[in-house]
Amino acid sequence: MDLQLKDRIVIVSGGAKGIGAAIVRMLAAEGALPVILDKDAAAASALESEFLKLGAKLLIVVANLAEAKHCRGAVDQTLQKFGRIDALVNNAGINDGVGLENGTPEAFIESLQRNLFHYYNLAHFALPALKKSTGAIVNIASKTAVTGQGGTSGYVAAKGGILALTREWAAELLPHKIRVNAVVPAEVMTPLYRGWLDTFPNPEQKLKSVISKIPFEQRMTTAEEIASMAVYLLSGQASHMTGQHVFVDGGYVHLDRALT
Which residues does the annotation mark as catalytic? 155
The answer to whether the beta carbons of residues 40 and 67 sit under 8 Å apart is: no
Q: Which residues contact 82 (CB under 8 A, 6 or more apart)?
A: 9, 33, 35, 59
Buried b (16+ CB within 10 A) or exposed e, 191-218: ebbeeebeeeeeeeeebeeeeeebbeee
The answer to whether the beta carbons of residues 34 and 22 sit under 8 Å apart is: no
**In sequence order, what are the beta bridge partners of 89?**
12, 138
CA angle 13, 16, 20 (to 5 degrees): 55
**In sequence order, what are the beta bridge partners of 90?**
139
Nearest to 15 by CA among 122, 110, 97: 122
